[in-house]
Chains A and B, each alone.
Chain A
């Protein structure tokens, strides 16, 4: 495994850990943006350029900004008074550690059955377009419907209550 893999893994995991442990919410949001960027670099390392650029465009360009706006609109930029972790923190950590143990064991135990090296796939955007409009046209249309429903739903849910009470 080359040095790039370790570097990108370090960036991503550091960002994720920082996001989950920092007290200040906006710092945590910026740390998770670093994690998203690290994942985009992973996708580029795996020769999935379209997925990598879509990850940057959607996660860093939209989801991170949504999260930051939500933090500001719910006055999250003041430091919390009661501490960062809930009172059941031990059980949560234990469950997460247990799940990582199971997943890690499953991956390492089946390492012999996994393919090791393969040639770089020559994927062009043209192929992605053909496949999207050919084999995956039904999921595409359903995702379009889902996004429309989500847009309308988010607007209605976050609509100011004064107008609805009238």
Chain B
């Protein structure tokens, strides 16, 4: 019974394709998976928009949208109808072909990334040998669409926003890749289902997730920072900062194309959170071995939604970083720390089981963090903290 609940979608897929002749069955199986992904993730996107607006509202001490439906839950429907019936304005001096293609390429590249995520036991669309590399290749393709959007609008603010966004995405992409390499070194494979299987062991009831190791925690924190920067979320959202650049590289987009950009950004958030949970949080495995009876896909989506909640929380609480602060942070602090983390991962791997490797890894990482922080802050002169309250 537990096993059936866990594999309910796989069994459903097998039952549906049993109606077709044997020669069409593999193609139909993949097609069903694609339809499932294309329906589930935009549905989650709609849920997340209302989640975000209510969440941000509560953090900012106000109610979010509460007019449409009970507690405002039908707001995404209203937003969708608005986006679809709005007039599609294209500036006269804009480049029409490139202007049209930019959101399309963004959404297509982001959807391709979902193909390699294992969303449950036996629930990965394509089990590629180099799955992680495929995911990062699709992520790299999104940068080009951002540039196309900014350049084709013939607007100085759009172009500026696009160039800033691309520079930021390239810098943090390196950090994303290097922090994933630490996981690949330990798991021994680039294939995402195998990485999840390597974390699917329990000792004393606690799982072998990589986040529970010193190098894994450091790598996860850097992955999270890089993921926030890659999807242009606050506190790294200067390229689309509403108060600085109007709307950055999607200033000149309206109606359905703007909705596509919005969809692309949230889907990129889902896909990068999905990869983060697969690499560090154990994918579809349960946190305690006693809880393994809950279906695996509930664990996967639960962890992804918790990551989305952390993204929304960061957006509501942290101030925006300036472009040069953001680039300095990436190149001068996070990147050397990532390389050090690779070294520590190698020590961990070759030192053998026992308490010694925990002590050595934690000491190296904590010592380097404190040292590099002190060196970086050496020139800053901070006065004592003062508080001013609103009267």
Contact = CB atoms under 8 A, between A and B. Distances in A.
Q: Do the two chains touch directly in the complex (Cβ atoms below 8 Å apart)?
A: yes
Interface of A: 26-27, 30, 33, 49-50, 53-54, 56-57, 60-62, 64-65, 68-69, 72, 77, 124-126
Contacts, number: 62
Chain A interface main SS type: helix
Chain B interface main SS type: helix
Contact of A65 (B98, B166, B188): B166
Given A30-B98, A53-B137, A125-B189, A65 B143 contact: yes
Interface in B309-344: none
B143 A53 contact: no
Q: Which of B133, B139, B173 has the largest number of chain A CB atoms within 10 A? A: B133
A53 B131 CA distance: 10
Contacts of B148: 30
A62 B140 CA distance: 8
A68 B147 contact: yes
B137 A65 contact: no
Interface in B125-174: 128-130, 133-134, 136-141, 143-144, 147-148, 151, 159, 163, 166, 170, 173
20 contacts: A26-B98, A26-B151, A49-B130, A53-B133, A53-B134, A54-B133, A56-B141, A57-B136, A57-B140, A60-B137, A61-B144, A61-B173, A62-B140, A62-B170, A65-B144, A68-B147, A68-B151, A72-B163, A125-B129, A125-B189
Contacts of A72: 151, 159, 163
Contact of B137 (A27, A33, A61): A61
B219 interface: no
Contacts of A124: 129
B130 A125 contact: yes
A65 B189 contact: no
Contacts of B140: 56-57, 60-62
B62 to A, nearest CB: 40
Q: Which of A57, A60, A77, A126 has the largest number of chain B CB atoms within 10 A? A: A57
Contacts of A57: 133, 136-137, 140
Contacts of A54: 133, 137
Q: Which of A30, A33, A64 has the largest number of chain B CB atoms within 10 A? A: A30
B279 to A, nearest CB: 16
A60 B109 CA distance: 12
Contacts of B195: none
Contacts of B141: 56, 60-61
B163 A53 contact: no
Q: Which of B137, B148, B163 has the largest number of chain A CB atoms within 10 A? A: B137
B137 A56 contact: yes
Nearest to B177: A57
A68 B163 CA distance: 10
Contacts of B138: 56
B190 A65 contact: no
Contacts of B98: 26-27, 30
B12 to A, nearest CB: 30
